[in-house]
Amino acid sequence: MSKTIGIFGGAFDPVHYGHTESIFNLQKKINFKKIHIIPCSIPVLKDALIAKPNERLKMLEMAFKEYPDVLIDDREITKGGISYTFETLKSIKKDYPEEKHFSFIMGLDAFLNFKNWKNWTEILEMCSIIILQRPNYNLPENLYIEFKNSITKDVEEFLKSHGKILFTNISFIDISSSQLREDFKSKHFNKDKIDQSVISYIENNVLYSK
């Protein structure tokens, strides 16, 4: 099976099992050479972040420490300011001049807003997209029709060229970082939703308490 370089960006404020288990299950289905986990410095289409960049990086390192071929990539944080996906993709592709296939991993919520992303058509030219579907949620008909020539369910077909969109049917834990922050604030969080080492880090550094 052909290999691909995975890119999974986000705020990760905080990282949770919805993130880690999705990557774990994707690795069983798709032959990744490497997966870059890239926390943003400043989110483009979301509210301001709570945890500092170095804190989010540390939590990611803890959460993914046992995952093979996963790299916690700090390029957007090091760059500072707003980073657009098409810029980050260009930067990563320069690191792999011999690689032919790149896969950008995103949740369905993000994909529903994809046409508002800066240079979204250029993104599809530079990579293919893997969509992590929320349980019991179907793609709106207008989006399905619009991207029907790009959507595939076949992994081998997906890996042949860029511009493809693969909707996954892997096990996906439906967790919201924003809800977790509220849970930590009220001290009623579910320990089954987040890695214990990350919980300890959050508590020791008094994150999300206000």
Tens digits of per-residue pLDDT, 44-72? 867 789 999 999 999 999 999 999 899 99
The confidence score (pLDDT) of residue 78 equals 97
Taking 70 as the pLDDT cut, the residues of the chain under it are 1, 45, 134-137, 171-172
Give me the phi and psi of 87, to 5 degrees please. Answer: -70, -45
The confidence score (pLDDT) of residue 135 equals 63
Residue 111: CB atoms within 10 Å? 20
The confidence score (pLDDT) of residue 183 equals 81
Q: How is the chain split into domains, by residue range?
A: 4-174
Buried b / exposed e over 74-102, threshold 16 CB at 10 Å, is bbbbeeeeebbbbbbbeebeeeeeeeebb
pTM of the model: 0.93
Beta carbons within 8 Å of 110's beta carbon, 6+ residues apart? none
State the CATH architecture for 4-174: 3-Layer(aba) Sandwich (3.40)
In angstroms, rounded to a whole number, what is the distance separating the alpha carbons of residues 106 and 50?
21
The confidence score (pLDDT) of residue 175 equals 82
Query: Is 127:121 a contact under the CB 8 Å cutoff?
Result: no
Q: Which amino acid is at 208?
A: Y
- For the sheet with 70-72, list strands across it: 70-72, 32-39, 4-10, 102-107, 128-132, 165-167, 151-152
Give me the phi and psi of 150, to 5 degrees please. Answer: -100, -25
Radius of gyration for the alpha carbons in the chain, expressed in angstroms and rounded: 17
The confidence score (pLDDT) of residue 80 equals 94
Query: Is 150:163 a contact under the CB 8 Å cutoff?
Result: yes
The confidence score (pLDDT) of residue 139 equals 73
Helices 53-63/196-204 angle, 10° precision: 150
In angstroms, rounded to a whole number, what is the distance separating the alpha carbons of residues 109 and 125?
21
